[in-house]
Amino acid sequence: MNAPPRGRDLGLMSCHVCRQITAWTEAAHAVCPRCGSALHARKTGSITRAWALLIAAALFYIPANVFPIMRTQSLSSRDDNTILSGIVELWRAGSPGLAAIVFTASIIVPMLKFIILGYLLVSVQRSSGFVSRQRAKLYRFVELVGYWSMLDVFVVAILSALVHFKILSRVEPLPGVVFFGVVVVLTMLSAMSFDPRLIWDNRKTSQ
């Protein structure tokens, strides 16, 4: 066991907001002596909350992909696009590069978040000491890429605001985009409720 000591072992903890180091306390209403925000030794109900939000997000992910997110209406035609068919259309319209970016942001990133957060939660619940350092990195990665999924929501919002020419042509948002926005917000909240410090707690084996 030659892992570096945790704050708990040294009787120290830090403030979430200003990172002031204080003495370790498990008191429910402790506040930071410097900035006055609430102190938590570990985020409260971290695993339960992260699981609940993640499962909710996964459920919403189904209607987000099945229902169309955007309707493009012009004199001659009416197009309902789902996330995937929108990407295909963008690819065909001559910008494969942008289509790849949208595909990454809307399909790959949410999938990665489900898989990574699920894995992190399961491994923490099993007090696994397996590749702890890599798991800590995975967590930071999820936090870093999380909000990029909002890309498609922005596209629909901008287009619906921009393209409004009465009967000539019109873009309208459809329910799918709401579900998708909810998925992104829920996965971000789930990542926020997960406490990465749990990775280093109760490890059965060292390293």
Partner 1 sequence: MIEVFMLGTLVAVVKAHTYFDVVPGAGIWAFGVLTLLITVFSSLDPRELWTITAGDRA
Query: Which residues contact partner 1 (rule: CB under 8 A)?
Result: 18-20, 34-35, 72, 74, 86, 89-90, 93, 95, 98, 101-102, 105, 147-148, 150-155, 157-159, 162-163, 169
Judge contact between 187 and 194, C-beta under 8 A.
Answer: no
| Nearest distance in Å: CB 52, partner 1 | 25
Q: Which residues contact 187 (CB under 8 A, 6 or more apart)?
A: 53, 54, 57, 110, 113, 114, 117, 146, 149
Q: Which is nearer to partner 1, 3 or 35 (by Cβ)?
A: 35
| Nearest distance in Å: CB 68, partner 1 | 15
Three-state DSSP at 89 gives: helix
Q: Which is nearer to partner 1, 99 or 138 (by Cβ)?
A: 99
Q: How far is CA 123 from CA 71, 117, 118, 119, 182, in A?
A: 42, 10, 9, 6, 26
Judge contact between 190 and 121, C-beta under 8 A.
Answer: no
Q: Which is nearer to partner 1, 104 or 128 (by Cβ)?
A: 104
| Nearest distance in Å: CB 124, partner 1 | 27
What span, in angstroms and rounded, lies between the C-alpha atoms of 23 and 114?
Answer: 35
Q: Which is nearer to partner 1, 74 or 128 (by Cβ)?
A: 74
| Nearest distance in Å: CB 59, partner 1 | 24
